[in-house]
């Protein structure tokens, strides 16, 4: 059994990843690591932010870990807010975000998932979902984003999540699938 610690303070993220691994890679046991208060360096490069957060988490846990960093990128603002999504949301709230965009504006959600498994050994996996912005919706249940409608769907992330139909669009699962292909190939190489 492989034990991997998932460093997140977000229980919804943990449950999504844990359920997927239970179903698709039962040889991996995902263990919740405390939601350490990892500082985020100031850069617009999401890959650099994700790697730095994973390095910090490795220093605290010293066991194989998964860390991710995600964001929404509005095409009309040259990929803003990106790595600053959390801060923009905290500062403006959902209503403020709606004032930045119009219905139908193109956007991309993406995650950089970093698997750190040794002192300087890590791999980065990216998951992406393109789509458009929803008009101010009436559906605002958590978890999920009521603002973003993935390409190929007429429902928001939040609606898809609530109905159990989110996985085909889930950029975190997209990154996790890439991780599992790499992880299985690495395990086979050591047999």
pLDDT of 92-141, one tens digit each? 987 888 888 888 999 999 999 999 999 999 999 999 999 999 876 665 55
Degrees, nearest 5: CA angle 187-189-191: 75
Q: What's the CATH code of the domain at 70?
A: 3.90.950.10
- Residue 123 β-bridge partners: 115
Cα–Cα distance list, 141 to 10, 61, 80, 89 (Å)? 16, 33, 24, 16
- Structural domains of the chain, count: 1
What is the model's pLDDT at position 18? 96
**Mean pLDDT on 159-178:** 93
Tell me the DSSP string of 64-115: -EEEEEEEEEEGGGTTEEGGGHHHHHHHHHHHHHHHH--TT-EEEEEEEEEE
Distance CA 16, CA 92 (A): 27
What is the model's pLDDT at position 136? 65
Nearest by Cα to 26 from 138, 186, 163, 184: 184
Token duo for residue 106: 């193109």
Given a cut of 80, is residue 183 above it in pLDDT? yes
Token duo for residue 44: 């617009």
Helices (H), the chain: 11-24, 46-61, 85-100, 157-162, 171-189
Could you list the residue range(s) of the whole structural domain that residue 181 is in? Answer: 2-189
What is the model's pLDDT at position 115? 96
Token duo for residue 73: 């990128």
Find out whether 4 and 26 touch, Cβ atoms under 8 Å.
Answer: no
Token duo for residue 26: 């039962």
Distance CA 8, CA 12 (A): 10
What is the model's pLDDT at position 37? 80
What is the model's pLDDT at position 96? 83
What is the model's pLDDT at position 147? 85
Given a cut of 80, is residue 145 above it in pLDDT? no
25-45 pLDDT, tens digit per residue, is 999 999 999 767 888 899 999
Q: pLDDT grade, residue 3 (50/70/90)? A: very high
Query: Looking at per-residue confidence, does 153 or 135 come out higher?
Result: 153
60-106 pLDDT, tens digit per residue, is 999 999 999 999 999 999 989 999 988 888 899 878 888 888 889 99
């Amino acid at each position: 059994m492989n034990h991997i610690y998932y460093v997140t303070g977000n229980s919804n993220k943990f449950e999504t990843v844990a359920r997927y691994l239970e179903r698709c890679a039962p040889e991996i046991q995902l263990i919740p690591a405390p939601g350490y208060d990892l500082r985020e360096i100031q850069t617009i490069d999401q890959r650099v932010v994700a790697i730095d957060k994973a390095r910090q988490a490795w220093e605290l846990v010293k066991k194989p870990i998964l860390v991710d960093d995600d964001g929404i990128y509005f095409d009309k603002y040259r990929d803003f807010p990106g790595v600053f999504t959390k801060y923009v949301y905290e500062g403006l709230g959902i209503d403020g975000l709606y004032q930045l965009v119009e219905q139908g504006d193109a956007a991309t959600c993406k995650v950089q998932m970093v698997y750190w498994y040794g002192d300087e050994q890590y791999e980065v996996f990216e998951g992406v979902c393109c789509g458009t912005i929803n008009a101010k919706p009436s559906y605002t249940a958590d978890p999920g984003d009521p603002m973003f409608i993935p390409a190929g769907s007429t429902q928001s992330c939040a609606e898809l999540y609530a109905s159990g139909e989110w996985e085909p669009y889930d950029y975190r699962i997209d990154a996790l699938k890439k991780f599992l292909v790499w992880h299985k190939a690495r395990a086979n190489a050591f047999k």
